[in-house]
Amino acid sequence: MKYCNQCGAEMIEDAMEEITFDEDDVKIDGFHAFVCTKNCGYYEKIERNCNDE
């Protein structure tokens, strides 16, 4: 089990997104991440290869 480095709560595997606003467009990058269950804002990206299930 993983624990949050910020508040110590349990972390779960989930999905996150980063939204970037440029002058003329909006970019949304979705990715897998471990996310804090107490919603303190801490997350860790999960790097995956194409061969991962």
Domain ranges across the chain:
11-45
Half-sphere exposure of 35 (CA within 13 A, CB side): 12
User: Would you state the pLDDT for residue 51?
Assistant: 65
User: Would you state the pLDDT for residue 39?
Assistant: 93
pLDDT tens for each residue of 17-34: 999 999 999 999 999 999
* Among 30, 43, 31, 32, CA closest to 3: 43
Strand order in the sheet with 11-21: 11-21, 26-36, 43-45
